[in-house]
Amino acid sequence: MEILDNLRQTKQTTLAFFELSELDLQKSYGPGKWTIREILHHLADAETVLYDRIRRAIAEPGTVIWAFDQDKWCEKIEYAIQPLGISQSIYASVREGVINLANQYYVKYGDNQFIHSESGLRTLKDEFDKVAWHNERHLQQIKNALET
């Protein structure tokens, strides 16, 4: 399945960026935008949030799932000073969980619906696709930051 290839590829690419130098980790893709370090922490946190949504959509179709404020997480959890190695481990293991669930349930339960508190009605397939799309978007931001 294309989704599995995408999830595996974005995982591999993302994990390589955790190995950047401290200087590169401080780069940003634009004024007032997150640094690469903050993006990597965000990817780990977002992965856990999306993994939870996926599991709920499988086990409890029709449930309401709440949005999270990514900027508050960055500020209040202080991404700028958190150990990057912990987020790397979280990202890697949770992504393996997402890949496993996609392999088993993307087709089987893909039409399961849930309600997102901000975007409304969504399906399990939508959420798996969002994991890949979200990661790709942030990878592009990292690449842009490294080019500046």
What length does the chain have?
Answer: 148
User: Collapsing DSSP states into helix, strand and coil, what is residue 115?
Assistant: strand
Domains held by the chain: number: 1
Residue 26 near residue 17, CB atoms below 8 Å: no
Q: What CATH number is associated with residue 129?
A: 1.20.120.450
pLDDT of the residue at 92: 98
Mind listing the pLDDT tens digit for each residue in 3-28? 999 999 999 999 999 999 999 999 99
Mind listing the pLDDT tens digit for each residue in 85-106? 999 999 999 999 999 999 999 9
Expressed as residue numbers, the domain containing 13 is: 2-147
Which residues have a Cβ under 8 Å from the Cβ of 77 and sit 6 or more positions away?
41, 45
